Amino acid sequence: MTTNNFPSPGLSITDALLKAAYSSKDLEVRLFERPSQVFEDMGMAVPDIYKDGFDKNFKDLYNSKRDEIRDEIRKALSDNANADVYLPSLASIGCTLCSIAAYTVAAAIVGIGAAGLTLLSVTSGVVVALAAFAGVGASAALAFIAGLSTAIASGISAVCTKICEWTGAC
């Protein structure tokens, strides 16, 4: 699959939050204290059951690429011509940002388990959520999920990677 032309809500929120946090020390502090709460404040729901995992995933991923992310944000914000740069589209950090944004969808897929995949349909919540995240139809999302049994056994991080590879972010 190739990257779609419109950003997913989760990636758009990630992009906006990181840019804003770069400019606001208060927001940056709040973002690293409890990322899930700040994402929720911006409109991306993180179910209670996944909040601790989301927070750990965000901190681990962000910290692994902190210098590259901050450098890309600095470049984008220092030049008005680059102010509209969409951070997830940058090869250097796009995969990391996608993995942050895909966490809740990946966690829901892992929660279903490999055995539960056969029970899904195009109207299942996790299928609709993945379709919205990836900007594809529910049939394409269902077909993709059906092939994730090995990744599901490896955990949320592995499913995040597969989702982001599928969308073209990695």
How far, CA to CA in Å, does 136 sit from each of 37, 57, 120, 143, 159?
Answer: 27, 25, 17, 11, 17
Per-residue pLDDT averaged across 160-169, rounded?
90
Q: Does the pLDDT at position 4 exceed 50?
A: no
| 8 Å CB contact between 133 and 102 | yes
Dihedral of CA 119/135/23/72: which sign? positive
Smallest CA-to-CA distance from 102 within 46, 30, 33 is with 46
Q: What pLDDT sits at residue 82? A: 56
- Give ∠ CA 30-132-72 in degrees, rounded to 5: 45
Q: If you average pLDDT over each of 39-43, 76-80, 92-96, 144-148, which comes out highest?
A: 144-148
Q: What pLDDT sits at residue 8? A: 66
- The whole-model pTM stands at 0.79
Q: What is the pLDDT of residues 114-124, one digit of tens each?
A: 889 889 999 99
> Which stretches within 79-137 are classed as H helix?
94-101, 103-116, 125-134
* Measured distance CA(87)–CA(15) in Å, rounded: 6
Q: Does the pLDDT at position 3 exceed 50?
A: no
Q: What pLDDT sits at residue 146? A: 93
Q: What is the pLDDT of residues 18-71, one digit of tens each?
A: 888 888 889 888 988 999 998 888 888 888 988 999 999 999 988 888 888 888
Mean pLDDT of the chain: 84
